[in-house]
């Protein structure tokens, strides 16, 4: 991977202000046009851009600048970085082991049913399949569609839960929220709820009422018993 200069314009601003390098040398080092470097020196371009010191960033040495200042035809060279950042590999189609390839149609069926928001390209990345296979399974024209059983690709080991969640999150962005009918639930109309009686009586209140009735009944029976006893005493 070719080494690139960090923030070329900001570096050019610093070199114009702090060195005696020619416009051509700065333009060659910063991958700019000489006229653009001249405009920076005249204050017509890169206004408001703070200069970036390439010596501080480890991309240019002071000795290299001095060589360029002594020789107008000298071309500045970037310093080799002290730390090599590994180049990120471009992610290609997922490789599926031969032992698990027979489970791919089941995983595709599971994804199509449980995550209809996923695009064919996303399903292909997850389980390593082709768009034609996905269409056949979705339209039930696959040669083995009658024997397919939906199975979670994470359980089958075809993809990780993190990858699946990321693809679902990407597919869900900008998607309208599901309606109540899609969720299988609906609110009751106001005409059915406006006349409902929401009064609530606790079991203790009902027990108190029952106990009070029982007490009054007992008192009345006691009174009638006393009257009968008094009448009997008067007779004797």
Q: What is the rounded end-to-end Cα distance, in angstroms, of the chain? A: 129
What's the pLDDT at 173?
75
DSSP assignment letter at 140:
T
Distance CA 59, CA 80 (A): 7
What's the pLDDT at 159?
86
For residue 129, count CB atoms less than 10 angstroms from its CB and return exposed for 0-12, middle for 13-18, buried for 19 or more. Answer: buried
What's the pLDDT at 179?
57
Query: pLDDT tens string for the chain (236 positions)?
Result: 456 788 889 999 999 999 999 999 999 999 899 999 999 988 888 778 888 999 988 889 999 999 999 999 999 998 887 656 555 555 555 666 666 678 889 999 999 999 988 999 999 888 888 889 999 999 989 888 888 899 998 888 888 888 888 888 888 876 665 555 555 555 555 555 555 555 555 555 555 555 556 666 666 676 665 555 555 555 55
What's the pLDDT at 110?
93
What's the pLDDT at 172?
80
* Residue-range domain boundaries for the chain: 8-70, 98-172
What's the pLDDT at 191?
55
Task: List CB contacts of 65: < 8 A, sequence separation 6 or more.
Answer: 15, 19, 21, 55, 76
What's the pLDDT at 23?
92
């Amino acid at each position: 991977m070719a080494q690139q200069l960090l923030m070329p314009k900001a570096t050019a601003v610093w070199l114009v202000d702090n060195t005696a390098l020619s416009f051509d040398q700065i333009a060659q080092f910063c991958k700019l046009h000489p006229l653009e470097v001249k405009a920076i020196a005249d204050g017509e371009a890169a206004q408001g851009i703070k200069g970036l010191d390439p010596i501080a960033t480890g991309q240019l040495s002071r000795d290299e600048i001095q060589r360029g200042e002594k020789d107008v035809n000298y071309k500045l060279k970037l310093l080799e970085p002290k730390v090599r950042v590994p180049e990120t590999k471009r992610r290609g189609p997922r490789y599926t082991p031969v032992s698990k390839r027979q489970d791919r149609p089941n995983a595709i069926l599971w994804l199509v049913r449980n995550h209809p928001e996923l695009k064919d390209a996303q399903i292909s990345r997850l389980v390593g399949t082709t768009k034609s296979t996905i269409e056949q399974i979705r339209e039930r024209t696959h040669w083995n569609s009658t024997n397919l059983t939906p199975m979670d690709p994470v359980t089958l080991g075809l993809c990780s839960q993190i990858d699946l969640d990321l693809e679902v999150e990407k597919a869900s962005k900008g998607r309208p929220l599901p309606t109540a009918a899609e969720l299988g639930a609906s609110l009751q109309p106001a005409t059915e709820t406006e006349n409902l009686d929401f009064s609530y009586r606790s079991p203790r209140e009902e027990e108190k009422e029952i106990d009070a009735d029982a007490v009054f009944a007992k008192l009345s029976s006691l009174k009638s018993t006393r009257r009968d006893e008094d009448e009997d005493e008067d007779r004797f």
